[in-house]
Structure 1
Amino acid sequence: MDIDLFLERIGVQSLPDSPLKRLQTLHRAMTKTVPFENVAVLEGKNISLEPSDIFAKVVGEGRGGYCFELNGLLAHLLERLGYKLERLLGRVWANGAPAPSLTHMTLRVFVEDRPYLCDVGFGGGTLREPLPWSPGEAAVQGPDTFRLDATDNGETMLSRLADGEWKNLYSLLPCPVRPQDYIPGNHYTSTHPNSYFTQSLVAALTTDSGRKTLRDRLFRTVGADGETERELTTFDEVVQVLDQEFGLKSLDLASLKSRLSHLFD
């Protein structure tokens, strides 16, 4: 990995000397500049978990990716910078799934022996910065409030406060895993017909005061001035939003249009 090229990609000119501030700087910058997105899945491309392939995609092509790619790349970078970390595997609690499978990757990073949850690949619910691994304690990150809690089965649940209630986002297994343990989840996520990522278009970035997300035809921004929603009516509008709002260019338009044709029937 060429660290200088990566820092240029995420808009960081220099890194702080403090290990914690350095980690915070990298985390914040990635969530604001490298979109969580699944365009390559809809283009029918193979999603490689090799660090060199992810680097080429994110830095060379200016693309983003999903959790296995973005957190995998962050792990590779942090290890190069001398951080001790553990790779974690978890299940996303969304859409009322009674027993979600293990399809989410996060990191537990240690700074002066204190653990932090790092996750730059969770779309509209992505952490803005490292979250202290302190179960039961709420932490405010800009407009968001997060909390980790121990579950009855030994997992650790991340929740976010929304409309006065805690909403479960994902739970993490208690033991660290190895890079090869992500292969089944990545294969399912990128190829299975029941996977959300093979059915729908998604893109997300954090902003200084909120977030912007695209889900199929719905482009949504949340910021200091409130929330706005815009329903896109044509494929060309979708391409324009991917370009102008998420920096995604040089797309395989024919493949993408074919996969999204049902949205505009």
Structure 2
Amino acid sequence: MFLHLNNYITHQAKELQIEEVLSQLSVKRETKQYHIGKLVIVRWRDKVLIPCGEYLAKLLLEQFENFRSGRTIEISDLIKQCVTCYVTAEGYDIAENSSFSDQRDDFKLYKDTFELPLQQSCQNYYLSKAKEWENFTDSVAFIENVANLMDSEKNLAKLLMHPSTVTVIEQWAAQALVADKVKNLKLSFKSHMTDEHFNGSELHKCYNVLKLIDNGLIDLVKDYETYIIDYTTKKFGKDFNDPKIFVNVVAEAHEKFDKLTYQTFDKHREFTEIMDRVR
């Protein structure tokens, strides 16, 4: 019934072509005046959406808790439809394939009702995970855990939330779990960049987490640059001054690391610039 009424009212409000009768009146009114279509939406928001918000937010958070505890998520489609009603009430298109980054500041009703309680819930959950993982000594293993958690949280947000939340929930996780480590510790990735094996898939996960943090890529970039220099130096061996060997080694290294940079670091500028520095 809630969804039926929401769809009916928003449709009617958009279709109404009545002129702004109130604005044509010469009599001054103290109350705020709306176009009749806007008035319908405002009344629907004030009398139904806002009063129902607390209950829906509680139901939403319960589903996040169920998922994190390994329990079944219930009525996810219905919850998502109800949640997105709070965006349509503000007059925005909620097509799944649209970009919402430029409009997020306008989603006040949606953010106040659902995102703020969810953010607090996420912060508490991430702090508990940080304590659980506090004894990790391998930077890659720790950040890989964070990356897996981020993917899980994003998938859950896709099921239950408006698409604009999917992009911010991973930022919450990265900031809560990794930002302090980037700031206060030197992360090391050298053990995953060796002559025997380059752990591209794990390092790619690290990259996806660290790129969300200010100056988060510094240690990863430094270790990758060291790896390139060490690899190339060993390839030269004692024949550094041999022009033929020099050209062949440079060509081989360029092909190898151009491919690695693309596959592992999405050709991010900070990694492609390494190749220019070491040539």
TM-score range normalised by the length of the shorter chain: under 0.3
Q: Pick the structure with greater CA Rg.
A: 2
Between Structure 1 and Structure 2, which shows a larger proportion of strand residues?
Answer: 1
- TM-score of the pair, normalised by structure 2: 0.24
Between Structure 1 and Structure 2, which shows a larger proportion of helix residues?
Answer: 2
